[in-house]
């Protein structure tokens, strides 16, 4: 009984949605999150190391590697988010950071300082708190809110200045802030002077400059808060691609800086490289790098639509790595990107192409080290678990729900949303060769022998033969969806479980149910069987692991608060593993014990969907809904396992189609010929180059000899010059030495004189010092004598005092002796009195004790009664207290309601007062408006006359519009007629095509006849060759020629008779066929010409009609505008008349002209003149239009019609 050991060996997958989810540790190692782990992947050795996530974590949200490449910080989502810092060399936990200042449950971005001593962490919504840590001391140095409190927009990224520990940069939606740390606070500085935009990412390109990317495809270069330069990548791309029909501008999602410049991801699948210009203040675009097309996908261009979420550059700046939103990793060597800058560079896939959708199916092969997975991303992938490589993959048009791998490793069974397909695993492709009408098959499995397979169709399990593809049996019994099925090791049984709470055991050959265990309260999701098929292990929604044998539950292991989603048992029957809904792996103690024992291992980030153990019990494979695959190395405590025959090894056979093989052979032959040709060419070119090089060598040797001679002559000249210079130098040196010796003698004499003077001074000072010393000795002797005298006087004084004190002390001792004697006598008397009193008190209290005991017995009975009463009263008190609490809570609620209602009442009272005021104001306005209305009614009938006149002018134009509409209808009828003509022509074309097909058939027949003739000729040649062999033997030659004659000549005679009969007929048929063919070809040619002419006429008519429509609609719009202008002018005139009528006090209402005559107004006169001009202009326009309609010519117009404005009926 032991718990098996499991260690993660390799993880396939990348967790997207993590900030900074790709980083470099060193030149060969990259760091990225996958599942619940952080992976250190060595690109050269293809080896992984793992940093597991913490317990109860909801997943990683941000990752950052320190600039010194020693530490990694991982932020995880929890109730209180934490940041864990690990040492990248030892993979040990260094610090765990958490702070009560953060209200959010996650950190959205992390960054280390340039010296790796500080860490800045940006919290998520709702508060977006920024924390500045000294992480080695786990101390928060400063806290600030980065988002605007009013709108609370999201923050995306935070970073340190690469040269300054105290300077930070934060970007978000409408937020670009620089912070500086000083005196325990983060203060903003260099506030930007640009209109805010949605800033998605940024990078420091120098100590002072930051490059920022927006969601509109713009790059902004800021220096000290001022924008120095702007690159509009989106506009540049649109100039290159005019046919781009994308919904919006490309977003800049990631930026990374390096010594030569920076790289930014803009738009789907594109990275732009920018390099420094000569002045080093600005950048220019150097290169574009694109994600390549995926040839294994149903839509190859789909991979180019991935959004690049993160970029990183290697420490030596040799490699650029990108991670996408579809969990893929790509890389490019920057040196290769620089070569041939005119062309577009392409990324390469780093490691493997991972799944990016929920993984639904998993299976393992027996004869090869292969495992197969299928996913909701519509892909099927075949992995090698020994080399940890992706062997083969293909994306299809439908989602794949389940997968089964044949034991031989040559076939797979995939359950798609429309059908179940049996496919061949070819050398470089996956091809379907049989389809079964099972829609959305969620579970399928090959038998261990590979001769049968089982597939789930709704609630029914169907068993098929892999040889005949016949439906062998249907296993009916489940009432809910079947979630798991397993074959026994000898293929005699199938065990299945479903959401209906049933675990059934079936006999595979007869289709009978031989065992069952039904528990309706549990929805089963996983099942495993022992090698003998007697015991079944099942897991489901009731958070237990059940051991079932003989249709009864033997043991039930409680999993606590964890739901087990899948279970797997080793083929040796000594290891049992369970997968949980939160993504952890359980290694259970086996055989099972109650309570159960297990070891929990961190693995995936969400529910484990499927798990399988390889046939040699070396590896366990788990797949999850987070699109990751984990390969675990497993071993029981005793180190035992299934012994595999090493001599047999893995199968190395592969499938390849005949056509592919022939193609490859032909390609090889072509390539060989090309290689030979190239060898010949290269040999010839090498000879030519040798000849050229020999000539060049001759030229160079001649030049070299000439230069050598010239250099020799120069050398001789220089030697003579050198000798002259040496002689000069020796003379100068002799002169300098003489000067130097003279100066030395002068200096020595001067210094000797100075020394003599200084010595005399020294002797004088020494004599003074001796005198001073004698004076000080005398003073010291006097001081010592005075000190001795004072000491003697003090000793005499203190001795007399001491004698006095000793006498006093003797007197005090005598007094103490007398007092002690008195004390002992009094003590004896008190003790005798105390003994007497104690005896009296003892007797007294013994009597009292008897009385108290009797009273106590009495009281005990009373207390028992009282206790009962007390408990009942206590219950009542508790009930009352609860009622009081309820009443208090109700009271508090009611009080709060009353307060709210009082506030509402006050608010309503204020509103009533305000509304009363407004009502009064509105009543006054209504009174004024009524007065105005009365005045306006007086002038109404004056303006009616003018309106009638205008209507008379509009009516003829409306008639014109009607006529034009009729013309449009006629044109539409013409269009219909042309459409009918087109359909007729299409019918004719189809007839002609059919005739062409018939002629093709006849041609094929003729070719067949030719082939038959050629075969006869070949046979005759072989027979004749055989006859030639008997040329030495005349008899045999004669017989063979006779046989040849009877065989061929007789057949030819029969054939010639038939041929002569059919020749005449064939000649006539041929003539008729050629005549009809010529006639048809002529008619087709004429019809094509006619069709081309008709289509050209039709197109011209369409253009003409469109132009007419445009001009008519423009005219209508102009007329409507003029009508509106006229109505506004009438309104202005009415206002002018009203002003004049106020001046006049009586009389009848005059018309407009009389008013104008009585009260001449310059404005009104000018308006009437303008109106008359407009009417004249409109009349001229109408005449022109009528003339154009009569003549048939139309004004030219654009292809798009202007919008029709509705007539304002209210005016």
| Cα–Cα dist 519/522, whole Å | 6
CB atoms within 10 A of CB 960: 17
Identify whether the C-beta of residue 15 lies closer than 8 Å to the C-beta of residue 628: yes
| Cα–Cα dist 1041/1027, whole Å | 7
The owner of tokens 């002796």 is 817
- Phi-psi domain of 128 (left: phi exceeds 0; alpha: psi -120 through 50; beta: other): left
- Phi-psi domain of 819 (left: phi exceeds 0; alpha: psi -120 through 50; beta: other): alpha
Angle (CA) 51 57 59, round 5°: 70
By the 10 Å C-beta count (0-12 exposed, 13-18 middle, 19+ buried), 481 is classed as middle
| Cα–Cα dist 1/1208, whole Å | 93
**β-strand partners of 403:** 414
| Cα–Cα dist 346/270, whole Å | 9
Identify whether the C-beta of residue 415 lies closer than 8 Å to the C-beta of residue 442: yes
| Cα–Cα dist 434/411, whole Å | 11
Helix (H) or strand (E) run with residue 580 in it: strand 576-580
Angle (CA) 679 684 688, round 5°: 145
CA 884, 886, 888, 891 torsion-angle sign: negative
Identify whether the C-beta of residue 210 lies closer than 8 Å to the C-beta of residue 194: no
| Cα–Cα dist 542/547, whole Å | 14
Task: Pull the structure tokens for residue 552.
Answer: 């009864």
DSSP assigned state of 1189: H
Among 511, 514, 480, 486, smallest CA distance to 498 is for 480
Backbone angles phi, psi at 447, to 5 degrees: -70, 160
HSE toward the beta carbon, residue 916, CA cutoff 13 A: 6
SS3 category, 961? helix
DSSP assigned state of 465: E
| Cα–Cα dist 200/196, whole Å | 12
| Cα–Cα dist 156/146, whole Å | 11
Q: Are strands 345-346 and 283-290 parallel, antiparallel or unpaired?
A: parallel
- Phi-psi domain of 1146 (left: phi exceeds 0; alpha: psi -120 through 50; beta: other): left
**β-strand partners of 139:** 134
By the 10 Å C-beta count (0-12 exposed, 13-18 middle, 19+ buried), 1145 is classed as exposed
Backbone angles phi, psi at 768, to 5 degrees: -60, -40
Identify whether the C-beta of residue 57 lies closer than 8 Å to the C-beta of residue 33: no
Integer angstrom CA distances of residue 329 from 100, 373, 1043: 36, 19, 77
**H-type helices in 151-283, by residue range?**
233-240
Task: Pull the structure tokens for residue 891.
Answer: 């009271």
Q: Quick check: bond before 591 cis, omega within 30?
A: yes
Identify whether the C-beta of residue 84 lies closer than 8 Å to the C-beta of residue 54: yes
Identify whether the C-beta of residue 485 lies closer than 8 Å to the C-beta of residue 454: yes
Among 228, 306, 220, 316, smallest CA distance to 271 is for 306
The owner of tokens 């996650």 is 106
| Cα–Cα dist 523/938, whole Å | 87
Identify whether the C-beta of residue 214 lies closer than 8 Å to the C-beta of residue 247: no
CA 777, 778, 784, 787 torsion-angle sign: negative
- pLDDT < 50 regions, the chain: 242-246, 1145-1160, 1193-1202, 1204-1211
Backbone angles phi, psi at 305, to 5 degrees: -95, 5
Contacts of 581 (CB under 8 A, 6+ apart): 562, 563, 564, 565, 607, 608
C-alpha of 675 from chain center: 46
| Cα–Cα dist 94/612, whole Å | 35
By the 10 Å C-beta count (0-12 exposed, 13-18 middle, 19+ buried), 1153 is classed as exposed
Angle (CA) 624 627 631, round 5°: 65
SS3 category, 38? strand
DSSP-assigned letters across all residues of 1103-1128: HHHHHHHHHHHHHHHHHHHHHHHHHH
DSSP assigned state of 154: -
Task: Pull the structure tokens for residue 1054.
Answer: 């029969």
**H-type helices in 1144-1202, by residue range?**
1152-1158, 1162-1191
HSE toward the beta carbon, residue 591, CA cutoff 13 A: 7
DSSP assigned state of 250: P
| Cα–Cα dist 145/130, whole Å | 6
DSSP assigned state of 305: G
Task: Pull the structure tokens for residue 747.
Answer: 């200096």
C-alpha of 93 from chain center: 27
**β-strand partners of 37:** 34, 52
By the 10 Å C-beta count (0-12 exposed, 13-18 middle, 19+ buried), 645 is classed as exposed
């Amino acid at each position: 009984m032991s718990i098996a050991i499991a260690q993660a060996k390799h993880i396939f997958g990348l967790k997207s949605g993590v900030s900074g989810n790709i980083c470099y540790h060193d030149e060969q190692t990259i760091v990225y999150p996958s599942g619940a782990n952080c992976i250190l992947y060595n690109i050269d050795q293809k080896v992984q190391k793992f940093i597991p996530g913490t317990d109860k974590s909801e997943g990683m949200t941000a990752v950052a590697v320190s600039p010194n490449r020693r530490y990694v910080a991982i932020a995880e989502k929890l109730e209180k988010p934490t940041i864990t810092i690990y040492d990248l060399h030892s993979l040990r936990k260094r610090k765990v950071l958490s702070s009560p200042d953060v209200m959010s449950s996650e950190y959205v971005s992390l960054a280390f300082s340039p010296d790796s001593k500080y860490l800045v962490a940006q919290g998520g919504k709702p508060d977006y708190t920024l924390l500045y840590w000294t992480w080695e001391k786990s101390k928060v140095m400063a806290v600030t809110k980065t988002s605007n409190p009013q709108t609370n927009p999201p923050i995306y990224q935070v970073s340190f200045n690469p040269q300054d520990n105290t300077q930070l940069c934060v970007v978000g939606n409408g937020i670009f802030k620089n912070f500086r740390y000083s005196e325990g606070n983060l203060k903003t500085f260099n506030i930007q002077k640009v209109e805010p935009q949605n800033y998605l990412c940024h990078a420091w390109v120098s100590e002072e400059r930051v490059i920022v990317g927006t969601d509109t495809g713009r790059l902004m270069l800021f220096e000290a808060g001022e924008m120095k330069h702007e690159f509009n990548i989106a506009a540049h791309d649109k100039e290159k691609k005019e046919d781009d029909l994308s919904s919006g501008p490309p977003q800049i999602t990631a930026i990374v800086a390096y010594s030569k410049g920076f790289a930014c991801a803009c738009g789907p699948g594109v990275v732009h490289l920018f390099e420094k210009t000569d002045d080093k203040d600005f950048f220019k675009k150097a290169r574009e790098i694109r994600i390549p097309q995926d040839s294994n996908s149903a839509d190859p261009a789909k991979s180019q639509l991935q959004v690049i979420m993160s970029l990183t550059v290697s420490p030596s700046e040799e490699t650029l790595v990108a991670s996408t939103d579809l969990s893929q990793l790509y890389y490019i060597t920057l040196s290769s990107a620089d070569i041939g800058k005119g062309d577009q560079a392409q990324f390469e896939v780093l490691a493997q192409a991972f799944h990016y959708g929920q993984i639904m199916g998993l299976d393992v092969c027996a004869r090869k080290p292969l495992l197969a997975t299928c996913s909701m991303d519509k892909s099927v992938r075949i992995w090698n678990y020994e080399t940890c490589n992706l062997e083969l993959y293909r994306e299809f048009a439908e989602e794949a729900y389940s997968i089964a791998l044949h034991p031989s490793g040559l076939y797979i069974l995939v359950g798609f949303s429309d059908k179940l397909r049996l496919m061949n695993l070819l050398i470089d492709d996956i091809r379907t060769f049989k389809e079964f009408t099972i829609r959305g098959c969620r579970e399928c499995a090959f038998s261990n022998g590979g001769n049968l397979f089982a597939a789930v169709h709704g609630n029914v399990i169907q068993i098929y033969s892999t040889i005949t593809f016949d439906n062998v049996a249907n296993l009916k019994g489940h009432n809910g969806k079947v979630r798991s099925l397993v074959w026994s090791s000898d293929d005699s049984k199938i065990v299945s479980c479903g959401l209906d709470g049933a675990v059934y055991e079936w006999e595979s050959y007869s289709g009978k149910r031989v065992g069952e265990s039904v528990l309706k309260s549990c929805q089963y999701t996983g099942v495993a069987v022992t090698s003998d098929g007697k015991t079944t292990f099942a897991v489901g929604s009731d958070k237990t692991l059940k051991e079932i044998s003989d249709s009864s539950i033997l043991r039930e292991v409680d999993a606590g608060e964890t739901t087990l989603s899948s279970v797997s048992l080793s083929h040796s029957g000594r290891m049992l593993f369970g997968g949980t809904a939160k993504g952890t792996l359980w290694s259970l103690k086996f055989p099972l014990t109650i309570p159960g024992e297990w070891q929990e291992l961190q693995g995936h980030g969400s529910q484990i969907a499927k798990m399988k153990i390889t046939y040699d019990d070396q590896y366990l494979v788990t797949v999850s809904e987070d699109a990751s695959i984990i390969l675990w190395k497993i071993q029981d405590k005793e180190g035992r396992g299934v012994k595999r025959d090493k001599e047999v090894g893995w199968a190395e056979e592969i499938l390849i189609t005949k056509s592919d093989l022939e193609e490859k052979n032909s390609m090889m032959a072509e390539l060989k010929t090309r290689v030979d040709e190239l060898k010949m060419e290269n040999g010839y070119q090498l000879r030519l180059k040798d000849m050229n090089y020999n000539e060049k060598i001759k030229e160079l040797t001649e030049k070299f000899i000439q230069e050598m001679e010239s250099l020799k002559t120069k050398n001789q000249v220089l030697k003579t010059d050198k000798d002259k210079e040496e002689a000069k130098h020796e003379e100068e040196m002799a002169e300098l030495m003489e000067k130097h010796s003279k100066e030395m003698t002068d200096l020595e004499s001067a210094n000797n004189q100075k020394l003599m003077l200084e010595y005399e001074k020294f002797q004088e000072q020494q004599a003074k010092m001796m005198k001073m010393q004698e004076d000080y000795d005398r003073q010291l002797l006097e001081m010592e004598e005075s000190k001795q005298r004072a000491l003697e006087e003090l000793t005499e004084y203190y001795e007399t005092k001491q004698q006095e004190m000793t006498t006093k002390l003797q007197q005090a001792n005598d007094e103490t002796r007398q007092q002690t004697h008195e004390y002992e006598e009094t003590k004896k008397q008190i003790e005798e009195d105390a003994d007497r009193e104690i005896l009296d008190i003892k007797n007294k209290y013994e009597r009292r004790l008897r009385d108290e005991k009797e009273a106590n017995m009495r009281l005990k009975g009373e207390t028992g009664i009282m206790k009962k009463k007390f408990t009942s009263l206590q219950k009542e008190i508790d009930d009352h207290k609860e009622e009081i609490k309820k009443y208090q809570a109700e009271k508090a609620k009611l009080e709060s309601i009353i307060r709210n209602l009082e506030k509402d009442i006050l608010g309503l009272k204020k509103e009533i007062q305000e509304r009363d005021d407004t009502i009064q104001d509105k009543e006054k306005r209504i009174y004024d408006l009524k007065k105005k209305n009365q005045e306006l009614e007086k002038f109404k009938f004056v303006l009616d006359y003018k309106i009638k006149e205008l209507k008379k002018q509009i009516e003829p134009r409306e008639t014109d519009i009607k006529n034009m509409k009729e013309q449009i209808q006629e044109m539409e009828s013409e269009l219909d007629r042309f459409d009918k003509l087109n359909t007729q022509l299409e019918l004719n074309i189809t007839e002609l095509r059919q005739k062409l097909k018939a002629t093709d058939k006849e041609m094929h027949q003729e070719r067949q006849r030719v082939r038959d003739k050629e075969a006869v000729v070949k046979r005759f040649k072989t027979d004749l060759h055989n006859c030639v062999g008997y040329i030495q033997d005349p008899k045999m030659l004669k017989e063979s020629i006779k046989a040849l004659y009877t065989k061929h000549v007789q057949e030819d005679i029969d054939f010639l008779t038939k041929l002569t009969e059919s020749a005449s007929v064939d000649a006539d048929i041929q003539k008729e066929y050629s005549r009809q063919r010529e006639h048809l070809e002529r008619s087709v040619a004429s019809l094509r010409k006619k069709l081309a002419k008709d289509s050209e006429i039709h197109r011209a008519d369409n253009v003409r009609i469109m132009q007419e429509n445009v001009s008519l609609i423009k005219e209508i719009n102009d007329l409507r505008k003029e009508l509106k202008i006229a109505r506004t002018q009438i309104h202005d005139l009415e206002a002018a008349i009203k002003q004049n009528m106020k001046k006049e006090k009586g009389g009848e209402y005059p018309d407009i002209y009389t008013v104008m005559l009585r009260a001449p107004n310059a404005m009104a006169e000018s308006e009437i003149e303008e109106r008359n001009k407009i009417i004249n202009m409109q009349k001229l326009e109408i005449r022109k239009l009528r003339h154009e309609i009569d003549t048939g010519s139309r004004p030219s117009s654009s292809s798009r019609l202007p919008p029709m404005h509705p007539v304002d009926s209210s005016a």
